[in-house]
Amino acid sequence: MSRPHLQVLPGYGEAEREPYVAFCGHCAKRPAPGDAENRVCSSCHLGLIVSAPESIAPRPGDAFLIVDGRMQICALSRKAEKLLGAGESDIVNRTLTEVVHPADAEAAGVESLVSMVVHAARGDGVVRDLVVRPCDEWGIRWFTRVGPCGTPQAALLVLAPDG
C-alpha cells in the first residue's frame, strides 16, 4: 500500500503575498526612490519608515496606529492624535485596549480586537475589518482595517472616521 504524497496548497506561499509598500510611521508619506535607505522620514522628520501591504498602507492624512505584539501603541499619525483627543506622548507606549475597544462589545468583545492585532503583529498577511470606538465614548465609531506592518513586525490599524 503506497502512502499519499504531500502537496503544497495554493495560497500559502510567500510568492502569493501582496506586495508591501514603505511609508512614514507618522505622516504616511511614501519615501522617494532615492530615500529608500533612510530610516527616518525625509518629509516630516518625525516618523520611522515602515512597510505594509499595499491594500492597507495609509495615505497622508489618514488616521492610523502602529501596535506591537505586546499590544502597545508604538506610533500614530497626527490625524489619529486628533481623533483620540491626545498627543503622541500621551498615547505611545499605552496598551491599545486602554485607548480603543470594539464598538459592539457584546458581539465581539475585546478578545476579538486583541486576536486580530496579535495575528497581524506576527506577520499574518490577512487584512481584516473591525469597528472600534474610544474606550470612554459611546456613539463614536471608526471603521478600521487591521493588517501586518513592519519592520520590526507590528500591526497597523487604519481608522476611517467617516465610515
User: Where do the domains of the chain lie?
Assistant: 61-160
pLDDT value of position 61: 93
For the chain, the helix, strand and coil percentages under 3-state DSSP, each to the nearest 5: 20, 30, 50
Distance, CA of 76 to CA of 59 (rounded, Å): 13
Cβ atoms within 10 Å, residue 4? 5
Distance, CA of 15 to CA of 3 (rounded, Å): 29
Is residue 34 exposed (0-12), middle (13-18) or buried (19+ Cβ within 10 Å)?
A: exposed
pLDDT value of position 102: 87
CATH of domain 61-160: 3.30.450.20
pTM: 0.84
pLDDT value of position 15: 43
- Splitting the chain (163 residues) into consecutive groups of 10 residues, what average pLDDT does each group show? 54 62 93 80 90 94 94 94 92 94 73 89 86 84 91 91 61
pLDDT value of position 149: 93
